Amino acid sequence: MGIYVENSVIRGCQDNAIDYVAVQYGHILNSDISNSDYCIYFKGGSAYLFVGRNKIHDCGTTGFGAGQSTGLQYMTPPWFHYECMDVKFVNNVLHDIDGAGFGVWGAYNILMAHNTLYRVGRRSHTIEIIFGFRTCDNDGISYKCAAYVADGAWGPSRVTVDESTVSASRDLDRMGQVRLNQRPGLCPDVAPDVAR
């Protein structure tokens, strides 16, 4: 079981074109994803996913994100440590993105290989790798947070106002990326890598 997107055109979403929370198994292939703030991101313990041969463009904050921040109560055991795990992001073309072309936030075993990025990072940087965050939101199912923490989850056991830092990005492989930013105002740098 999983979610599989193929040969699709997905665009014009105010926030997220594709947003996987607690999704295990699936892929996004040969698709055109655009005109959203976050074009694609996986979080909340999503795992075993492949993203390949897509055109990702005209995004606001990020083209593709592996991880970010999630209310612990939305995650599912046993995938409640990292924001996402075992994701392969290969041979995609990303362009015209205001923020990072792709980012990793509190994820484990991520491969980003042979992607092409151009006209990305107008307001920040081309690639971002930082910690993942976790909350426990006051939404009627927050009781799950304490139970999950008792079972070994990383995150707060009760309702929080601020995000808690819970995990660094680990086992990240980046190879063969082509970044072409030739106009002034486009940042060619990579954010500090906190994955160690």
The answer to whether residue 195 is domain-embedded is: no
Task: Kindly state the DSSP code that residue 190 receives in the 8-state scheme.
Answer: B
Structural domains of the chain, count: 1
Range of the domain at 134: 3-180
**Residue pair 5/33 in contact by the 8 Å Cβ criterion:** no
Residue bearing the bigger pLDDT, 98 or 193: 98
Cα–Cα dist 117/90, whole Å? 12
On whether the CB atoms of residues 142 and 134 are closer than 8 A, the answer is: no
Reported as a single tens digit per residue, the pLDDT across 127-170 is 898 889 999 998 899 999 999 999 999 999 999 877 776 788 88
Averaged pLDDT of the chain: 89
Scanning the structure block, which residue is given the tokens 């997220």? 16
- Structural domain includes residue 174: yes
Asked if the structure places residue 170 within a domain, the reply is: yes
Residue with tokens 């995609």: 92
pTM for the model stands at: 0.88
How does pLDDT run across 90-139, given as a tens digit for each residue? 999 999 999 999 999 999 999 999 999 999 998 888 889 888 999 999 88
The pLDDT of residue 190 is 46
User: Predicted confidence band at 184 (pLDDT cuts at 50, 70, 90)?
Assistant: low
β-bridge pairing 132-135 and 164-167 = antiparallel
193, part of any domain: no
